[in-house]
Amino acid sequence: MQMAELRTIDGVNILDLGDAELQRANDLLERFGMRVVSIASPLLKCVLPDGGELDQRFAHDAFASKHQFADQGRLAERAVEVAHFFQARIIRVFSYWRTTEPARTWDAVARALSDLAALAKRESLIIGLENEHACNIATGAEAAQMLQLVPDEPLKLVWDPANALVAGEVPFPSGYRLLPAERIVHVHAKDCRTEGDKPEWGPLGTRHVDWKGQIEALLADGYKGAISLETHWAGPNGDKREASRICGWNLRGFVSG
């Protein structure tokens, strides 16, 4: 592990940290020889006004962020500042909390993503749209359509197969094969099986995502980005550190195999 994706530090969202706190984080990263690949911002992880009735099937986990629609412009500016501070290329964003008719929100989502892509282009950064089961772009199929609606070069995809699985899609090979592989800039790795609409997280490579096939396909398609290990599984006896060690070991096996 040589890189980090920054989301929360000491329970505080990365965009809400002060400059001194960011410097302490940077000092720690430098001490361990790690660089920052992505700022995992909460941009567009909020309710879209007049977007329709929210889909109540999925939990709204905002990772210590309680920002609303009106905050998005300020958050975008802060995300740029933080990305430059850590010399990170990617700012991760979402597509507003999922409604019962997500396609009706796509024009608004596309406008917001286009504006963010224009900002990123001016700042020599990349906007990474994550497919998130609790947001309006949840699956590979939906991500592919949104990328067609917003062809702007600074907009790329953060591909999360497990999120697509929770949203009801077979992420690999079905969802992945719909995606323009050249626009995948980052990958999130976690694994689960679903009981109804609820994910049951577990060790990477032991649940319902075909991680072996997925990684083989990424490599065959020329993927050169990072794979970020997500810590959704609570681990044996609630030990998340041990969960990360197990999942990291499994992931290394898939990548090197």
Contact 67, 206 (CB under 8 A): no
pLDDT > 70? residue 62: no
Q: Can you list the domains of the chain with their CATH numbers? A: 3-256 (3.20.20.150)
Give 157-193 as a DSSP string: EEE-HHHHHHTT--IIIIIGGGS-GGGEEEEEE-EEE
205: left (phi over 0), alpha (psi -120 to 50) or beta: left
| Lookup result for tokens 């990477």 | 204
Calculate mean pLDDT across residues 126-145.
98
One-letter identity of residue 209: V
Residue 120, SS3 per DSSP: helix
The reported pLDDT for the residue numbered 215 is 97
The reported pLDDT for the residue numbered 63 is 59
Query: Which residues are bridge partners to 153 per DSSP?
Result: none
Q: Which residue has the higher pLDDT, 231 or 206?
A: 206
The reported pLDDT for the residue numbered 58 is 82
Calculate mean pLDDT across residues 76-102.
98
pLDDT > 80? residue 28: yes
pLDDT > 90? residue 66: no
pLDDT > 90? residue 190: yes
Contact 243, 231 (CB under 8 A): yes
pLDDT > 60? residue 43: yes
Calculate mean pLDDT across residues 199-222.
96
pLDDT > 70? residue 195: yes
Q: Which residue has the higher pLDDT, 140 or 57?
A: 140
pTM, two decimals, is 0.96
Inter-helix orientation angle 240-256/211-220, to 10°: 50
Contact 101, 52 (CB under 8 A): yes
Give 210-251 as a DSSP string: -HHHHHHHHHHTT--S-EEEP--S--GGG-HHHHHHHHHHHH
Residue 154, SS3 per DSSP: coil
N-terminal to C-terminal alpha carbon distance within the chain: 16
